[in-house]
């Protein structure tokens, strides 16, 4: 039962006889008056809702009337009170800390808030609470896997180093963690996300109308934020498991809770167990990640945040093809991410704020060639990425204005071969690549009337490739290859090699047809100057990144979207329909046999083409009652075309062909049955068309070895993918406020053990190939590779200890 909370109300008629009234709230801790950030607040009926900002402040706009005001926040007793709004109002809510985590009131501030009233489209927000309800793999809460339950988001398979948004490739998504980019978001080649689970506060996924403050990728922006420490009492969480162990500490460092610290870490040393299993004797796997955040509230108007993120992996898996060129008995992969950031948030007034930040991201992947005698040849590459950003935000009655400047500088090390003392190997180093992006943007979200809203943004980006480097000039209108190279011009440190620039408009429109139905339209243009190049079904962490240069220009994406959103009168259901069309120019593709390992002239292995994507996304959501959940259906296509002049510069004879993430039909459902007291059951179902793959058109022999003959690309499709996940949570069975309360969580990933195909490949038959009837008289054996072919069960116990 909710406790009585003191509500201090300041009756300040801030406006006249306006059609809507504003409720300005400030939410603080009852004990100490510390502002509480990210508190979920809701007015009902009407489902007007929001979250408090860093200073615990929130402004809600509603029509005059009688409402129930609800607020909920982890670690605090929920608040509920009737309220009559006649005029604009200021109020302070004081919440009392509570050891009970009551589930009776769920404040949904997610897409419902955005769905009807704002022009934003294609935006999904998931809080840490919602992430906890998603069944996971091997007991881990997984950010990327939870996103795959949303319309328009899929993966390349269970071992995929990222996600595909609306058919885009993995590197077309900008993935930020506390403002710094992350280049490899998974551990163990796609099985786990790198973000330390207990540190994640929420995720914003922009896949439609990407705000003008973001740029550099053409498919989506995934903005992941860690928790903000200091405003909550000290909390320690931990876990011990067969795969990984984790520990998180979130605590204020002073009595007034001005300074807060978050430290969360996870480590896995799986390969200690692998030698027990014959098949895994040559498999190595270790990973670790950690998040650190220090937040200081200098006063009522200034907040400083220092953040850091660390992630490291080492693995050796037979299922990853060996890299040629350097002989080795095994290839090992190791990669390190080390990010940091410093941010200053200053409120000039309640409506005018400045945010200045600096971030640094270091990504260092390594490929180790293990020799017969245990020696090691190392291939090192890396990205050093620096960002400086200043953003000004101003809110008036009808406008939310924003503007800012951003400067990105990235230095790529495409590869350095270190012999490591192994004889016969020559040290090699490719020339570094440096790119800078200077951007300025303005954006305005304008509430023209109660029915009509408009968002307009404009981003201008000026990109430069800087020396040291080379400008290689080829014969015009001819294939880029060694034979058409005309000239090589060197550039010194800091000299401009090439410049690309352009405007990127972002437009959105929201029209409320009725109080429960709204229509939206949006357009966004984006450019991508940094891209991942890999001639494979999915990139490995050591896959090469490439800056735009005179021969490899940026990719450009234009996205058009339309949408319809409807909320039922009883506020239980929300329905969304979105349709989109995306055009990509200067799409990157690869020549047959493209190999970027130690290749100083990668442009000779790249092709430029065009892409088009289109789709319809349907969502039905129920957010209250015993059964809550979401159903999504997506029909989406992505097609590429590379129409060169010769057989080496065109693909599929210059016709349109399915893109690598072309999955026409996807159905997902996420259902939660909560009986209200103790038990909560969850089911996730995914049914989708699988990826395209290539069936050979025949075979030839090379040196006596039968080799599949591929005259086309992506001419067939893998069998349909479907999977059912189950979770069962038993909450605090005695439902008493005790020093010790516990939850049991039982999850099953892939409940009925569907053997989903990841790839189909052909290999010449030899003496070791079994004489199976399925191969008949073919010179090839064909195999289907799947990742999880059996249910994965996990059982965990969570308890709360109150000393």
Partner 1 sequence: MLYARCLALIVFTLLCTGCIEPTEPVFRLEQPFYLVEGELTDQSGQSQLTVRQSNFSDVQLTLDPISDATVLAEEEGAGTRVQWQADPDVPGTYRAPADFAVQPGERWFVNVRFPDGTEAISAAELLPAASRIDDFRVAFEQEGRFVTAQRRFVPVFRLLLDFTDPEGTEDYYEWNYRYWEQEVVCASCDRGVYREGECIPVERFTTNNERYDYLCESSEDGCFRQRGGNQLDLSTDQAFAGGAVQDRPIGEIDFTDFGGILIEAIQYGLTAEAYAYGKVAADIVRGSSGLNATLPAALNGNVRNLDPDGPEVLGNVRVASRTTRRLFFVRDATFGEPPPRDRTIRLEPSNPPFTPPQAPCSGNGRTPIKPDGWPD
Q: Does 324 bind partner 1 (CB under 8 A)?
A: yes
Token pair for residue 303? 């907040």
**Looking at residue 113, what DSSP letter applies?**
H
Supply angle C-alpha 728, 734, 739, rounded to 5: 110
Q: Does 791 bind partner 1 (CB under 8 A)?
A: yes
Token pair for residue 306? 């220092």
Distance CA 656, CA 443 (A): 36
Which residue number, 556 or 649, has a Cβ lying nearer to partner 1?
649
Site for partner 1 in 227-256 (CB under 8 A): 233-243, 246
Q: Does 329 bind partner 1 (CB under 8 A)?
A: yes
Site for partner 1 in 385-444 (CB under 8 A): 417, 423-426, 428
Which residue number, 635 or 775, has a Cβ lying nearer to partner 1?
775
Tell the smallest beta-carbon distance from residue 778 to partner 1 (Å): 4
Which residue number, 187 or 567, has a Cβ lying nearer to partner 1?
187
**126: closest CA among 151, 147, 154?**
147
How buried is residue 782: exposed, middle or buried, by Cβ count under 10 Å (0-12/13-18/19+)? middle
Site for partner 1 in 640-679 (CB under 8 A): 647-648
CB 262 within 8 A of CB 247: no
**Looking at residue 47, what DSSP letter applies?**
T
Q: Does 601 bind partner 1 (CB under 8 A)?
A: no
User: Which of 209-217, 318-326, 403-411, 463-471 is the region at the interface with partner 1 (rule: CB under 8 A)?
Assistant: 318-326
Tell the smallest beta-carbon distance from residue 618 to partner 1 (Å): 32
Strands 740-749 and 721-730: antiparallel
Which residue number, 558 or 595, has a Cβ lying nearer to partner 1?
595
**At which residue do the structure tokens 């440190």 appear?**
493
Question: What are the backbone angles phi and psi of residue 501, rounded to the nearest 5°?
Answer: -155, 165
Site for partner 1 in 767-786 (CB under 8 A): 767-770, 772, 774-778, 780-786
Which of 46, 64, 75, 664: binder of partner 1 (CB under 8 A)? 75
Distance CA 541, CA 333 (A): 8
Number of neighbours of residue 539 by Cβ within 10 angstroms: 22
Compute the chain's Rg from CA coordinates: 27
CB 681 within 8 A of CB 728: yes
Q: Does 478 bind partner 1 (CB under 8 A)?
A: no
Q: Does 65 bind partner 1 (CB under 8 A)?
A: no
| Residues 6 or more apart in contact with residue 619 via CB below 8 angstroms | 151, 574, 575, 576, 577, 630, 631, 632
Distance CA 323, CA 332 (A): 10
Tell the smallest beta-carbon distance from residue 477 to partner 1 (Å): 20
| Residues 6 or more apart in contact with residue 611 via CB below 8 angstroms | 582, 583, 584, 587, 638, 639, 640, 641, 659
Give the x/- contact pattern for partner 1 in 4-43, rule: CB under 8 A.
----------------------------------------
Strands (E), 35-188: 40-44, 48-51, 57-62, 65-72, 79-85, 89-95, 123-127, 153-154, 164-165, 173-177, 180-181, 186-187
User: Which of 259-267, 440-448, 585-593, 662-670 is the region at the interface with partner 1 (rule: CB under 8 A)?
Assistant: 585-593
Dihedral sign from CA coordinates of 125, 130, 136, 142: positive
Q: Does 799 bind partner 1 (CB under 8 A)?
A: yes
Q: Does 802 bind partner 1 (CB under 8 A)?
A: yes
Q: Does 102 bind partner 1 (CB under 8 A)?
A: no
Q: Does 484 bind partner 1 (CB under 8 A)?
A: no
User: Which of 320-328, 441-449, 626-634, 728-736 is the region at the interface with partner 1 (rule: CB under 8 A)?
Assistant: 320-328
Which residue number, 317 or 673, has a Cβ lying nearer to partner 1?
317
**Looking at residue 733, what DSSP letter applies?**
T
CB 510 within 8 A of CB 117: yes
Which of 11, 697, 734, 752: binder of partner 1 (CB under 8 A)? 697
Site for partner 1 in 349-388 (CB under 8 A): 371-373, 377
Count interface residues toward partner 1 (CB under 8 A). 126
Tell the smallest beta-carbon distance from residue 21 to partner 1 (Å): 37
Query: Reduced to 3 states, what is the DSSP secondary structure of residue 92?
Result: strand
User: Which of 121-129, 323-331, 354-362, 636-644 is the region at the interface with partner 1 (rule: CB under 8 A)?
Assistant: 323-331
Tell the smallest beta-carbon distance from residue 711 to partner 1 (Å): 6
Which residue number, 438 or 793, has a Cβ lying nearer to partner 1?
793
**166: closest CA among 534, 538, 506, 584?**
584
Which residue number, 269 or 801, has a Cβ lying nearer to partner 1?
801
Which residue number, 2 or 707, has a Cβ lying nearer to partner 1?
707
Tell the smallest beta-carbon distance from residue 138 to partner 1 (Å): 7
Site for partner 1 in 606-645 (CB under 8 A): none
CB 609 within 8 A of CB 643: yes
Give the x/- contact pattern for partner 1 in 139-168, rule: CB under 8 A.
x-------------------x---------
Q: Does 299 bind partner 1 (CB under 8 A)?
A: no
User: Which of 162-170, 211-219, 589-597, 669-677 is the region at the interface with partner 1 (rule: CB under 8 A)?
Assistant: 589-597
Dihedral sign from CA coordinates of 595, 531, 607, 434: negative
Which of 11, 66, 503, 536: binder of partner 1 (CB under 8 A)? 536
Which of 267, 505, 550, 764: binder of partner 1 (CB under 8 A)? 764
Which of 4, 102, 319, 448: binder of partner 1 (CB under 8 A)? 319
Tell the smallest beta-carbon distance from residue 582 to partner 1 (Å): 22
Which residue number, 350 or 716, has a Cβ lying nearer to partner 1?
716
**Looking at residue 603, what DSSP letter applies?**
G
Which residue number, 41 or 131, has a Cβ lying nearer to partner 1?
131
Distance CA 349, CA 437 (A): 31
DSSP lists the bridge partners of residue 83 as: 67
Which of 595, 603, 610, 639: binder of partner 1 (CB under 8 A)? 595
Number of neighbours of residue 639 by Cβ within 10 angstroms: 17
Site for partner 1 in 269-288 (CB under 8 A): 278-279, 281-282
Give the x/- contact pattern for partner 1 in 453-472, rule: CB under 8 A.
--------------------
Give the x/- contact pattern for partner 1 in 740-759, rule: CB under 8 A.
---------------x--xx
Which residue number, 158 or 445, has a Cβ lying nearer to partner 1?
158
Which residue number, 251 or 400, has a Cβ lying nearer to partner 1?
251
Token pair for residue 274? 């692998």
How buried is residue 673: exposed, middle or buried, by Cβ count under 10 Å (0-12/13-18/19+)? middle
**CB burial readout 677-695, b (16+ within 10 A) else e:** eeebebbbbbebbbbbbbe
């Amino acid at each position: 039962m909710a406790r009585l909370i003191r509500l201090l109300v300041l009756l300040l008629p801030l406006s006249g006889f306006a059609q809507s009234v504003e409720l300005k709230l400030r939410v603080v801790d009852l004990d100490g008056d510390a502002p509480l950030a990210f508190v979920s607040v809701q007015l009902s009926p009407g489902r007007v809702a929001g979250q408090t900002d860093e200073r615990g402040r929130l402004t809600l706009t509603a029509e005059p009337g009688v409402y129930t005001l609800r607020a909920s926040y982890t670690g605090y007793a929920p608040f509920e009170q009737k309220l009559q709004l006649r005029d604009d109002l200021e109020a302070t809510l004081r919440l009392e800390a509570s050891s009970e985590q009551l589930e009776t009131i769920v404040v949904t501030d997610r897409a419902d808030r955005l769905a009807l009233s704002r022009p934003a489209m294609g935006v999904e927000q998931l809080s840490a609470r919602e992430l906890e309800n998603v069944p996971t793999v091997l007991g881990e809460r997984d950010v990327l896997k939870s996103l795959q339950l949303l319309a328009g988001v899929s993966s390349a398979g269970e071992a995929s180093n990222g996600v595909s948004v609306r058919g885009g490739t993995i590197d077309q998504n900008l993935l930020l963690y506390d403002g710094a980019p992350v280049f490899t978001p998974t551990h163990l080649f796609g099985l786990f996300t790198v973000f330390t689970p207990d540190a994640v506060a929420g995720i914003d996924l922009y896949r439609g109308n990407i705000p003008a403050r973001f740029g550099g990728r053409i498919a989506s922006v995934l903005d992941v934020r860690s928790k903000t420490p200091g405003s909550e009492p000290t909390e320690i969480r931990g876990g011990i498991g067969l795969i990984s162990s984790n520990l998180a500490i979130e605590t204020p460092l002073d009595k007034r809770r001005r300074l807060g610290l978050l430290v969360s870490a996870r480590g896995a040393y799986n390969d200690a167990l692998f030698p027990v299993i014959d098949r895994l004797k040559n498999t190595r796997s270790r990973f670790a990640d950690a998040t650190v955040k220090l937040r200081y509230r200098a006063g009522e108007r200034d907040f400083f945040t220092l953040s850091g993120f660390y992630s490291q992996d080492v693995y050796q898996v037979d299922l990853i093809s060996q890299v040629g060129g350097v002989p080795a008995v095994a290839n090992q992969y190791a990669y390190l991410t080390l990010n940091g950031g410093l941010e200053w948030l200053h409120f000039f007034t309640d409506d005018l704020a400045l945010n200045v930040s600096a971030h640094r991201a270091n990504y260092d992947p390594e490929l180790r060639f293990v020799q017969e005698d245990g020696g090691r040849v190392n291939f090192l590459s890396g990205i050093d990425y620096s960002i400086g950003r200043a953003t000004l935000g101003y809110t008036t009655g009808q406008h939310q204005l924003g503007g800012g400047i951003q400067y990105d500088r990235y230095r790529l090390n495409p590869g350095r071969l270190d012999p490591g003392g192994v004889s016969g190997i020559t040290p090699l180093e490719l020339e570094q690549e440096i790119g800078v992006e200077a951007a300025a943007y303005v954006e305005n979200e304008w509430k023209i009337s109660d029915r009509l809203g408009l968002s307009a943004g404009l981003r201008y980006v000026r990109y430069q490739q800087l020396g040291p480097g080379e400008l290689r000039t080829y014969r015009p209108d001819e294939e880029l290859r060694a034979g058409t190279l005309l000239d090589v011009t060197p550039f010194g440190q800091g000299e401009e090699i090439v410049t690309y620039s352009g405007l990127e408009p972002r437009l959105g429109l929201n029209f409320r047809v009725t109080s429960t139905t709204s229509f939206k339209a949006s357009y966004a243009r984006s450019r991508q100057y940094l891209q991942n190049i890999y001639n494979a079904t999915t990139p490995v962490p050591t896959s090469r990144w490439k800056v735009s240069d005179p021969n490899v220009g940026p990719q450009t994406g234009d996205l058009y979207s339309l949408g319809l959103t409807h909320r039922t009168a009883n506020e239980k259901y929300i329905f969304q329909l979105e349709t989109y069309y995306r055009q990509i120019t200067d799409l990157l593709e690869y020549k047959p046999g493209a190999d970027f390992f130690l290749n100083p002239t990668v442009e000779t292995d790249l092709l430029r083409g065009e892409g088009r994507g289109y789709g319809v996304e349907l969502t039905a959501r129920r957010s209250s009652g015993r059964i809550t959940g979401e159903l999504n259906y997506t029909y989406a296509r992505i097609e590429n075309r590379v129409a060169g002049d010769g057989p080496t510069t065109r693909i599929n004879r210059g016709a349109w062909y399915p893109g690598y993430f072309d999955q026409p039909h996807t159905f997902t459902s996420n259902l939660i049955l909560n009986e209200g007291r103790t038990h909560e059951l969850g089911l996730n179902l995914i049914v989708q068309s699988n990826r395209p793959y290539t069936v050979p058109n025949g075979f030839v022999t090379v040196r006596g070895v039968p080799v599949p003959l591929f005259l086309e690309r992506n001419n067939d499709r893998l069998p349909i993918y479907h999977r059912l996940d189950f979770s069962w949570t038993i909450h605090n069975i005695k439902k008493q406020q005790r020093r010790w309360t516990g939850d049991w969580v039982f999850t099953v990933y892939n409940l009925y053990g569907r053997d989903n195909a990841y790839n189909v490949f052909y290999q010449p038959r030899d003496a070791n190939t079994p004489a199976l009837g399925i191969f008949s008289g073919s010179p090839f054996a064909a195999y289907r590779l799947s990742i999880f072919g059996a249910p994965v069960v996990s059982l965990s116990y969570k308890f709360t200890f109150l000393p």
